[in-house]
Every structure is written in structure tokens, then in C-alpha cells.
Amino acid sequence: MDPQQMAHTGPRKKRARQMGASMAATPQDIKFQDLVLFILEKKMGTTRRGFLMELARRKGFRVENELSDSVTHIVAENNSASDVLDWLQVQKIKASSQLELLDVSWLIECIGAGKPVEITGKHQLVVTEDYSASLSPSPQKTPPPAVKISQYACQRRTTLNNHNHIFTDAFEILAENCEFRENEGSYVVFMRAASVLKSLPFTIISMKDTEGIPCLVDRTKCVIEDIIEDGESSEVKAVLNDERYKCFKLFTSVFGVGLKTSEKWFRMGFKTLSKIRTDKTLKFTQMQEAGFLYYEDLVSCVTKAEADAVSVLVQEAVWAFLPNAFVTMTGGFRRGKKIGHDVDFLITSPGSTEEEEQQLLHKVVNLWKREGLLLYSDLIESTFEKLKKPSSKVDALDHFQKCFLILKLHHQKVDSGKSSQLQGKTWKAIRVDLVMCPYECHAFALLGWTGSRQFERDIRRYATHERKMILDNHALYDKTKRVFLKADSEEEIFAHLGLDYIEPWERNA
């Protein structure tokens, strides 16, 4: 940050940013030593919890990231005392009689007053008399019923622990080929098959294991059978040897190159990027020029350490202008992935004016330009309006203001030197997407931008077919009641849909 910019932000804003980045208060910041708070994420959501933690810390409260023996007060939202105690039991933590179980309304009053307020009956979560009896194990336990696998990814928990890589990798190659050929129907067939197999807690070793599994049609079963019998799929082998597939795979690896451009270059007879780069008759967009210029960096994977370093850059830049803004890393990294191709961030700022929100990304981009960190930017203004109802098209892009960037990340910014040292360079070009959304939409936008792609397709399909609702990145609309359903967290969206909450790291469908 240049000296002129630091003069504008002032020491108070700088301190607020540092506190947010560490998500912990230093001992001298704590005013109320006798209180140790823990805010329960269950039914509240990550975004709202993080926001309340930061506000409480700024007011001098000690708020723990993890539950420990030192915690004196547990704060929860939309939970009964029984819900909290059930949660503690699952965590294998014994609740102390001295532990206060409180509704979030108490914390909000404390934040407003800038000090602890008196705990009254309206704040306390009271344990019912028959609760202890309900904790006792039943003398006659019946075995759990056989679990039926849902056709919807939003009703399955899919971690990164995939037991069926050999099959899902094959389906993803076939799906990608269908995408290159703009065959939407076949693309969906292969992606649904890959998605359901990723959720299985066992490895398929015979065709009998596929019985009762939804989303597997004759075509996908043939691929599975091929692999079981021969160790590979003849259909996949044919795709990998197909000239068109290989060219499209190569061309679309360039930032800014889509299917139409790939089709054009393939028809012109190009097979390599070096020939395309040096051809004088071709004209490239600014995005494609940047894609070629930083190609080696952009096709190498972004590590989690690099993503975290970018996160600090984004937070510092955003908080320089809107100290109360909330910045959340979305996409694959939010789902627990260790590597990715870019880093996505959702930004929302409760209490900010529409003009402040509209100007933020412009100011951030200009700041990085002055600091010499901006290699490329494409800022798309918001077309967000109060829509009559959400878009019924599943993959429709949202209408929020967004910026597609390439940033220069210096190696010393990356923890433990985990960044790739490419050809002796001291920096690496990293793809970054920033999305600015109004606070009332942040839960829907967070759900949409977290992914995975198949999870998003299925939760929207479920909303439409099972609940007669329309869900997109802006809102949830109940077609039966003809009303928009409000949600302050992802948990509330799942609740509106009648779904069990699926954690981000369980959405790798």
C-alpha cells in the first residue's frame, strides 16, 4: 500500500483489518477477562458466525475459535438447549453446570452496549426436565435401516475422499468431451454418474455393487463394466486419442478461450499454441492476450498456501475502503481442496450504501494498479435488480458486480515458501475472481459460489421438482405461495428446502 493510501485509511482501519485477518484478539484488546465466549455455527452459518465473532472482538470480548475448557458462555441462534447439548455430546464434550447456554440476542445486546449486559430469562436456553432421560440409550436398539441413495447431490454428503476414482475420472473425461461438442444431455448423464459414485463410502468391484445406485444408465454401466473387466474403458481411450478432443483441451486451457474460439482454431487447422501465438492473421481479446502472456503460471495449480496469501491481499485491499466488509473465500478451497486453478472471493458489506458497494471493486483494482500487483482486470458492472423471481435457468450467471483478475503474488507473501518457483521469478500470476453482492443476498450467493457445479445443479433441480421453488444466486422463490423466502445463512436456505444441512466440505459432488 502506498503512503498516500495509508494516510487515507488511518491507524484505526488498519488495526481492524489486522484483527480480522488473524480472527483472534490479542490480550491487550480483551476488556472482559472473566468471559470466554464460543459462538455455535450450527443453524447460524459460517458467514454470520465470523461476522459476529469479529464484532464481539472489536468490542473487547474474548471469543474462542474452538470450544475449550476455558469457555464460559456458549452463544447459539435458532437452537434449543437440547440442540446445543446434543451437539456437545456429538463432539464428545461434557457440558459443565457452570457453562452458560445463551441465545444470540444476549450477544447482540452486549455488542450494542459495548459491554456485557445482565443475563435474564429471555437470554437463557433452558434444559427441559425430560432431556436427561432422552440421553439414556434405549434398552432395545434396532439396526439402522438400509440407506437409500438419493438421486440429488444435495441429499448426499460427498467429501474429497473418493473411493471410485478409476470410474469417476473416466466419466469426467467423457463429460468434458460432450461439453466440447455442446452435447448437454450426454454431459449431464456422465456428470450425474460421476457425482453419485463420488459419494459412495465403498469401492465398486463388481457390477452387483451398482445395484440400487441411482443416476447410472446403460451407457454409464457399460463404462463401469469395461473398466472392471479390462482395467480401462474403450470409449474413454477413443476420446483421449481423438484429435478434436486433444485440441479443445489444449485451447481451452488458455484464459479467455472458450468453445467458439476453440472451434474456429481447430477448423483453421491449428494443433499447437505456439503456432497460434505466432500467427499474424489472428486477433486476440485482451483476456486472451493475458492468457498467453501468463500461460505457464495460470496452467500450474494454485496451492492452498498461495490461495491464503491472496486472501490476505484481498482482505487488506477491501478493508482499506470498507473496514466492516466481510470477505469469504469460495469455490473449491472453501470445500477443502488443497489445489485449484483460481481463487474466488465473495464480498458483502452490511450497513454500506449502494454507492459504496458499487465503488469498492473500482477502488480495489486501482489500489493494486498503483502497487504494481495488477496484471489484468475485467470489471463487469452489476445488472442486479429486484427480479420478479429467480432465474429458472440452472447455470445462469448471477447479476452481481464482479471482477476477473490476474494478480502478481510475490513468493515471500506465501507461508513456508510453498509457492512454485517458476524459472527463477520472484512472483507468480494468479487468477482471482471477486464478486460483490448486497448483504440480503449473501447467503444465496455464498451457496452458489461455493459449488461444486454438480451440487449447485442438483440443489436447484431439487428446489424446482421437489419443492416447487426456484433457487439461484440471488434468492429463493416459492412458486406456490408466490413469495421470496428470506435467509441470513446457508443453513436457512437448506431449512426452507426441507433439506439436512450439508457442510461445504461435503459438497464435492
Active site residues: 342, 344, 433
Does 472 appear as a known binding residue?
no
- CA distances in angstroms from 312 to 53, 123, 308, 329, listed in the order given: 18, 36, 7, 11
Does 433 appear as a known binding residue?
yes
What's the CA gap between 335 and 6, in Å, rounded?
34
Q: Which amino acid is at 65?
A: N
Residues linked to residue 406 through DSSP beta bridges, in sequence order: 376, 431
CB neighbourhood size of 491 (10 A): 21
Residues linked to residue 377 through DSSP beta bridges, in sequence order: 405
- CA distances in angstroms from 279 to 282, 289, 296, listed in the order given: 6, 13, 20
What's the CA gap between 285 and 426, in Å, rounded?
27
SS3 at position 100: strand
Paired sense of beta strands 374-380 and 339-340, if any: unpaired
Q: Which amino acid is at 137?
A: P
Radius of gyration over every alpha carbon of the chain, rounded to an integer in angstroms: 25
Does 344 appear as a known binding residue?
yes
**Contact status, residue 393 vs residue 373, Cβ threshold 8 Å:** no
Write out the three cell numbers for 428. 507468480
Task: Give the residue numbers of the binding site for Mg(2+).
Answer: 342, 344, 433
Annotated binding site, which residues?
342, 344, 433
